[in-house]
Amino acid sequence: SQKIEQNSEALNIQEGKTATLTCNYTNYSPAYLQWYRQDPGRGPVFLLLIRENEKEKRKERLKVTFDTTLKQSLFHITASQPADSATYLCALDTGANNLFFGTGTRLTVIP
């Protein structure tokens, strides 16, 4: 079965720095890879999707890369702000009906 690992359970960074989160997966490559944000006690909210034939995708201060050779996606938040503090989940979409989530990285941006 597909296994998804997010590099660290928690990440603390200083405000204004770039946060980099890692998502690694095993087995077959997904058709899409998605990133979600989850605040405590809330449902996840979609942020970005990147397709297997795309190397990079950007949205405002967010950037996602996708390396199918390394089986890895990197999620960057530039000029981080305390409001960016949340848990970030990567999810693999096989193009079928399922979306498999990693365990998440809890990001804390320190003022």
Q: What are the residues binding other proteins (CB under 8 A)?
A: 4, 32, 34, 41-46, 49, 89, 91, 93, 97-104
Give the angle subtended at the CA of 8 by the CAs of 86 and 111, to the nearest 5°.
45
3-state secondary structure of 82: helix
Residue number, 15 or 93, with CB nearest to other proteins: 93
Q: How far apart are CB 29 and other proteins at their closest, in Å?
A: 15
Query: Residue 69 is which amino acid?
Result: T
Torsion of CA 45, 51, 52, 58, to 10 degrees: -80
Residue number, 81 or 103, with CB nearest to other proteins: 103
Residue number, 17 or 42, with CB nearest to other proteins: 42
